[in-house]
A and B are shown apart, each in its own frame.
Chain A
Amino acid sequence: METVYIIDDDPSVLRSLGRVVSRAGYRGELFASGEEFLAAVPRSFATAACVVVDLQMPGLDGLELQRRLNRLDDGGPGCPVVFVSGNGDIPATVRAMRQGAVTFLQKPFDEDELLGAIGEGLAKHRRLLAESSKTAEVKSRIATLSRREREVMGWVITGALNKQIAAELGIVEQTVKVHRSRVMEKMGVTSVAELVRQCDLAGFFSGGRGLLPG
């Protein structure tokens, strides 16, 4: 079940929003302050989640909470945040959006607006989670490559020909071919284009020197 974390210092609002999300079929987790939430939130997410937080709260406010949430998540995809506020403070809104907020809802809001925003947030998180699991797989594949295979892959994704790679690495073209087919096999791809996308996903870049096309 997907989880919606709701943080609001007003207990009545908290209870009401909790009912709305439960009724919509999510698991609602309610917190009266940002500190409580940060202490309870998991370091990584198995299923998609979304945070609904009030912008103005005593102590840790919504923006600070979002910043710390982003930092907390080491490497994994951040949990999307939906901001709600009683008065639309434009500078705060802008900052929230730049920090990657899903959206900003002005209190009082319709349940459809809230559920819509939550749905959007969850979808984003789901996508992020999927991407993040894909990346992890690519990284583990890269880890199985030998040093030479990684060097060859670095040249292949720049679009270099076998002959050029052989010249660069000081090996015969035949050997390059062997490495290349082993890379394609280990990375589980059949085309260079696919390899390029995977390397991009994993943040693997060419080790080549000035031979990039264009």
Chain B
Amino acid sequence: MSWIPVIWSAASGMCLMLALMHFPAGQSGPRSRANLCFVLMVLSVISLGGAEMMALYAETPETYSAAVRWAHLIYGFWVAGGLGFVHFSFGTGTNGLLFVALGLRFLAVVLNFTTGESLHFVELTGIERVIFFGEEVAILGEWVANPWVRIGQLGALVQIAYVIDASLRLWRNGSREQRRHALLIGGNIVLFILVVTVKSALNSAGIVRAPLLVSFPFLMLVLVIGYDLSREVRRAARITTELEKSERRLALAASSARLALWEWHLESDRIWVSKSGKSLYGLPEEEEVRFESFLATVHEEDRATAEKEARVSLEGKAPLASEYRIVLPDGGVRWIAAMGRLERGLHGEGTLLRGVSIDVTSRKIAELENARQNRELSHLSRVGLLGELAGSLAHELNQPLTAILGNAQVGRRYLTDDSPDLQELGEILDDVIADTKRADSIMQGMRSMVKKDFLPENESLDLNTVADEAMSLLKGEIAARGARVEWLPGSGLPLVKAGRVELQQVFINLILNGLDAIREVPKKGRDADPAVCIETKYENGEVIVIVRDDGPGIPAAMENRLFEPFATTKEGGLGLGLSISRAIVRRFGGELEYVPEDAPAGATFRLSLRV
């Protein structure tokens, strides 16, 4: 029974298996480069075993010498693999040392082929035979040593230095796992380079007479590294199990919360959507989703906004937060809220938008219903306001009508003259036209107040203009009451986004409240008469409207309830004006508040809208 081929073959087989296990198929990154180096090491060890077998069974010194020559080349590959492994898996080595070590080994291999029969021998003239594992094997007999072997030994010293340096650095800065790694692998590599170099030095010096047995210690090293790597494989398996569990949990959570999980891979424009997500969006389970096919599910009216919001989030400045309607295949409509975050690649470029979507239909319906009721209520209150103003508005309207009627009748008389005064007639007609337009604009103002259509909610408005329009609707009322109203428009007001008619309504409401309040105060004559004062100004990024009156003021007990519905101090008042006004202002992102003042009389209200 010949043991040597059996042992060597078994060892080679093990190594080959390790190599295959770690072959980094289709991966990239430092870890897979380390694995590639490991594979190179293992393959080198297997080849080294082959070279050793060749030496053990050599019949002639020439064969033995050739085996040694090839072994040096293979050892060169091993060094490249081993140092590469340390470089990539530790990441702490000094690159200078690495290049010197590799350079010296390369030089040694070159010398191996150019000087003498190998790096060790100038000439091998005889071999001897000894019994090893019950077999007769060849060992060195007579030879002439090659002085260039010192280059190889120097190289070994640099290799050791490099590995020790890298291991120490890892030991100093690394985690517990990394320290273990440094000790086990660094220590073993150093140990075995040392063993091999010393042994072959002793062999070639003729001090030790033993067969060429280098691959065995290397095999041990390979097994140590293999063990280490297999720990990672086991860990990966454990993580995989954990991951599966957590994915199942997530899927359960997602489906019970009707949550859609998705990932938009930007480069390939593929969107992975969880199963629950596909049913949420009404997408067929098998279909591959792309951005276009996602957009196709979005309601026509929301599509442009949804697309814009998604594209903006790809700039990565803010996370995605978007609400839109989708249309299901059966025609049903669903409100979706989507949230997502951009993930970046190595160079900071966006690679992936990952996020969740939820069904917010019921909330949205409630919101819309609420908004609709709010609008309904403010419309009703607007109609009510107009009712209060009906008398004075009729007066306002009667002014131009009076002028028109008078002018028309005079004009007709002029026509009966022998030679009508055409210039006078022209002036009369001009006045008729101007008054007709005036009447029309009063009608327009009234109509816009009672119109029930959906009113535009984010016009860019100059509050001075809005206040002017409100004042023109109130003109008759103010005249009828003989009240004094001071209107102090501020200059340089920026535009604000709001609904024109509803803000007019708020102004009218506040001014009418003021007019009601001053009615209770006796007049003192012209400029000393109680007044309502309206003022606009721009302050700290807000446009502010102040409405102040010289009335008796708000009773302390009422102050806190002013904005509550049905709270009123007025005889016959419903107490809805202020609460509706505040709801309107808040809908435009502003605030309406009562300003308690130290002044003895009067009430002040402050309306503010952000620019």
Contact = CB atoms under 8 A, between A and B. Distances in A.
B480 A110 contact: no
A9 B209 CA distance: 133
Interface of A: 9-10, 12-13, 15-17, 19-20, 23, 56-59, 61, 84-87, 89, 107-111, 114
B207 to A, nearest CB: 128
B398 A87 contact: yes
Interface stretch (B2-10, B321-329, B356-364, B407-415): B407-415
B386 to A, nearest CB: 15
B479 A107 contact: no
B431 A86 contact: no
B2 to A, nearest CB: 129
A96 B90 CA distance: 108
Interface string B386-409: 000001101111111111111101
A61 B403 contact: no
B406 A20 contact: yes
A12 B479 contact: no
A16 B431 contact: yes
A86 B413 contact: no
Contacts, number: 83
B476 interface: yes
B522 interface: no
A143 to B, nearest CB: 42
A56 B395 contact: yes
5 contacts: A10-B403, A12-B435, A61-B482, A89-B480, A108-B404
Contact of A111 (B392, B401, B410, B434): B410
Contacts of A86: 394-399, 402, 476
Given A23-B413, A87-B394, A108-B401, A17 B479 contact: no
B428 interface: yes
Contacts of A84: 402
B403 A16 contact: yes
Given A23-B413, A107-B398, A87 B406 contact: no
Contacts of A87: 391-392, 394-395, 398, 480
Nearest to B485: A58
Given A9-B479, A86-B396, A107 B407 contact: no
Contacts of B375: none
A109 B403 CA distance: 10
B376 to A, nearest CB: 30
A12 B403 contact: yes
Contacts of B396: 86
B405 A108 contact: yes
Nearest to B434: A12
Interface in B194-234: none
Contact of B409 (A9, A10, A107, A111): A111
Given A58-B478, A109-B405, 8 more contacts: A16-B406, A17-B406, A107-B399, A108-B404, A109-B402, A110-B409, A111-B409, A111-B410
Contacts of B399: 10, 12-13, 86, 107
B347 interface: no
Contacts of B479: 9, 56-58
B438 interface: yes
Contact of A12 (B394, B410, B431): B431
Interface string B513-542: 000000000000010000000000000000
Contacts of A107: 395, 398-399, 401-402
Interface string B461-500: 0000000000000001011101000000000000000000
A107 B406 CA distance: 11
Given A10-B399, A87-B392, A109-B405, A20 B482 contact: no
> Which 8 A-B pairs have CB atoms at the shortest separation, nearest pair first?
A86-B395, A16-B406, A86-B398, A16-B403, A108-B402, A107-B398, A108-B401, A107-B402
Nearest to A86: B395
Contacts of A17: 402, 406
